[in-house]
C-alpha cells in the first residue's frame, strides 16, 4: 500500500522541503494550493512531475 501525504502550503519553503523529503521516502505527495493567491511554483518546479496539486483553502467561513 502506497503511503500518501497531503501538504498544505506546498509552494512555500517548508512545504517544498517536506515534499522532497516525503518523495524520497516513497510517499505519494498531494499539495494544496490556494485558489485566491498568486501562486508561484518555482520552489516545486523540480518536483512537478512527481506530485499532484489541488486547489483548496482552509478558511473557517
| pLDDT tens sequence across 8-52 | 999 999 999 999 999 999 999 999 998 776 678 889 999 999 999
Domain span holding position 8: 4-55
Is residue 60 in a domain?
Answer: no
The pTM assigned to this predicted structure is 0.86
Is residue 61 in a domain?
Answer: no
What confidence score (pLDDT) does residue 37 get? 65
Counting the structural domains of the chain, the total is: 1
Is residue 37 in a domain?
Answer: yes
What confidence score (pLDDT) does residue 40 get? 82
Is residue 10 in a domain?
Answer: yes
DSSP 17: H
Is residue 30 in a domain?
Answer: yes
- E strands within 1-61? 4-8, 28-33, 51-55
Amino acid at each position: 500500500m502506497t503511503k500518501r501525504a497531503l501538504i498544505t502550503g506546498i509552494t512555500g519553503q517548508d512545504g517544498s522541503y517536506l515534499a522532497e523529503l516525503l518523495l524520497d521516502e516513497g510517499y505519494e505527495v498531494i499539495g494544496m494550493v490556494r485558489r485566491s493567491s498568486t501562486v508561484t511554483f518555482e520552489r516545486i518546479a523540480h518536483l512537478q512531475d512527481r506530485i499532484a496539486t489541488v486547489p483548496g483553502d482552509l478558511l473557517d467561513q
